[in-house]
Chain A
Amino acid sequence: MFAAPIFAPEPMHIPDGFLSVTVSIVLWLVTIVVVGYALKRVNKDMGERQVPLMGVLAAAIFAGQMLNFTVAGGTSGHLMGAALATILVGPWAAVLVMTTVVSVQALIFQDGGLLVLGANIFNMGIIGVAVSYFVYSTLKSLAKGARWGIFVGGFLSAWLSIFVAALAVALELAASGTSPANIAVPAMAAVHAIIGIGEGLITVGALALIYAARPDLLTDAQVKKTGSISVWVVGLIVALALAIASPLASAYPDGLEWVAEQRGFLDTAQEPIYKIIPDYVFPGISNEVLATIIAGIIGTLLVFAVVFVVAYSRRNRQPTSR
């Protein structure tokens, strides 16, 4: 469209069609509950400041995702921002910021699907933020106010937020029967273990600048004000659950496939309905090749009809408009 496209090596925004309806709906429900709570929580903490701050920060994360740095051989690293947002505004506000970013990316820019938007918010907005908060607040309290707590915590939370979100993507794909767990999990883990380093370095760079220019943004008060023990616990549980589930799922992919089969999304496990109903033949169409040809003809006719109608109406419109 403008310049030669670069492949952003970050298969994190799942498009539509890759997750089963069951997985999509379950994750939508979780997302709705968490985002709803976050809205209430942040409204209580920030009041009328909420809308401008969340809106502008979401725009900053969105725009900040354009920031890149060359690594080698035409590849580049860039920012997802969940960890940075969590460190700067606390977990609940960060959930809202990431939800906004991911939703607008899906709705306006088709970056990630709509039916799977709940899953994408869940991965980047909820898991990414919960894990970041868990790691950052743990390291910061370990450091007891020393500077290294901010930077080591920043790097690790950024790295882990990418890594764990990627594991979640892999497990969701596996549970949908789209990608086998024993391939998807190690592949996503390996790729994102490397991508996460870039995220970590950018986050540390950002924290260094903010620490020098506006140290007040990084004080304890900022995180404590909106944070809570429940987020910490959720972060711990998420990190542990994925750390245990991922190797298990890759070692025993049959477990996930079994789930997929139970839900009827693996076609190999399914019996077509028309075989259950003996001698059932769709009126006039008994053969799949024939059905395909007829569908092709109907589709072509439909499109031609529309083209014809549009062309005809435009031809009529033009003389009158001049």
Chain B
Amino acid sequence: MRLFLLLHTAGGIANQLQDKMHVHFLDPYQPRFSLIHRLDPRVKLVLLIAFILTTTLTPVGAWPVYILLYAMILSVIVLSEIGFSYVLKRAALAVPFILAALPVIFTVKGPPLFNLEIGPWSLKASQPGMEQFFSIAIKSWISVQAAIILGATTTFPDMMIAMRAVHVPRLLVAIFGLMWRYLFVLVDEVLRLMRARQARSGHSDRPGLKPGGSANWRARVAGGMAGSLFIRAFERSDRIYMAMVARGYDGEVRTEPLPRVTSTSWLILAFCLAIMIFLLLFALLLWG
């Protein structure tokens, strides 16, 4: 629910939106002319998946390899010109899940580091547990930054080309494309619903200001909004379908053939993959 983290109140959004195009506030794409932006999207997607796979396979506690992997990410951030702070800010949004890994500090057996007394319980933190926890946290943090770079440097149409290249079914890619096209329209719809609710004091995020009704009532109101959103979406999809049929749509998804991968792209792909394989072998050999 990343959207959720970005948005705060309907009113806040409405104010923000008055001087901003919608595309800018939702679309993570950062328009630049950097090397990374110009790189073939297929190469980017394959390298991203390879990078995440490498990071995931790197054994626990291989700190030097983590540093080198992160150096790769940093270099790409610099090359992409999207700005270090942008990536960090978005990466911070992915942090809460790390809580889920916290218990391993205390459950993995090994030489104890310290004891934590919580009421009647005494938790023994072990050194391997600590290592495992920080490894998981660092790995996921590095991986999410890699993914952020792809999202920030690749337009959605390019992303669709990349998805087709890795053999996502054409029909599914077409559904993705249609979803993306109407996402902003429906997000606007939701923002209007939320603004209307706020105007009728059905919702408040401000502390001390009590929202109307009981929690149950507020939930039902939100449900009613969801219901009308869905009815509108159904009706919209009918109209879209008619418009598509009127323009000759027959259920077949026709796409242009994928452009050829240039030899430079192949070279970049091979070079980066080689580095990753080398790093992984290095990690497995020394820490596996």
Contacts and interface: CB of A to CB of B under 8 A. Distances in A.
B78 A307 contact: yes
B79 A64 contact: no
Given A67-B229, A110-B144, A55 B181 contact: yes
Contacts of B53: 21, 115
A99 B175 CA distance: 10
Nearest to B65: A295
A294 B64 CA distance: 8
Contacts of A100: 172, 175-176, 179
A104 B65 contact: no
B74 interface: yes
Contacts of A104: 176, 179-180, 183
Nearest to A103: B176
Contacts of A205: 219-224, 226-227
B269 interface: no
Contact of A62 (B7, B142, B186): B186
Given A2-B16, A17-B56, A64-B226, 14 more contacts: A7-B96, A11-B100, A17-B142, A57-B234, A70-B204, A96-B172, A104-B176, A115-B143, A201-B219, A201-B220, A206-B227, A273-B285, A295-B65, A299-B74
A240 interface: no
A292 B172 contact: no
Given A104-B179, A299-B70, A39 B169 contact: yes
B172 A39 contact: yes
A221 to B, nearest CB: 15
Contacts of B163: 107
Interface string A141-171: 0000000000000000000000000000000
Interface size class of A (residues with CB under 8 A): 35 or more
A102 to B, nearest CB: 11
B229 A60 contact: yes
Closest 3 CB pairs of A and B: A205-B223, A55-B178, A299-B71
A63 B241 CA distance: 20
A35 interface: yes
A55 B172 CA distance: 9
Given A1-B89, A179-B104, A268-B109, A60 B240 contact: no
A295 B28 contact: no
Given A21-B53, A299-B67, A210 B8 contact: no
By secondary structure, the A interface counts as: helix
A69 B147 contact: no
Interface string A88-120: 100000001001110111111111011100000
Contacts of B241: 48-49, 52-53
Interface in B234-248: 234, 236-237, 240-241, 244-245
B35 to A, nearest CB: 8
A7 B207 contact: no
Nearest to A202: B223
A59 interface: yes
B207 A10 contact: no
Interface string A212-247: 011001000000000000000000000000000000
Interface in B54-76: 55-57, 59-61, 63-65, 67-68, 70-72, 74-75
Q: Which of B74, B137, B163, B177 has most chain A Cβ within 10 Å?
A: B74
B176 A208 contact: no
Nearest to B230: A60
Given A21-B53, A105-B2, A201-B219, A3 B151 contact: no
Given A56-B182, A67-B226, A1 B175 contact: no
Given A16-B52, A67-B190, A267 B225 contact: no
Contacts of A274: 285-286
A209 B67 contact: no
A84 interface: yes
A67 B28 CA distance: 21
Contacts of A66: 3-4, 7, 187, 190, 194
B270 interface: no
Nearest to A253: B107
Contacts of B143: 15-17, 113-115
Interface string B243-282: 0110001110100000000000000000000000000000
B49 interface: yes
Contacts of A272: 286-288
Nearest to A111: B2
28 contacts: A1-B6, A8-B1, A39-B169, A43-B251, A50-B251, A51-B174, A55-B175, A66-B3, A74-B207, A79-B226, A81-B226, A88-B234, A96-B172, A107-B151, A110-B2, A110-B144, A115-B53, A178-B136, A204-B220, A207-B223, A207-B227, A267-B128, A267-B131, A288-B63, A295-B67, A296-B64, A296-B67, A307-B78
Interface string B164-203: 0000010110111111111101110110011000000001
A13 interface: yes
Contacts of A213: 227-228, 231
A78 interface: yes
A300 interface: yes
A255 to B, nearest CB: 14
B94 interface: yes
A282 to B, nearest CB: 6
Contacts of B64: 288, 291-292, 294-296
A3 B144 CA distance: 22
B211 interface: yes
Nearest to B205: A70
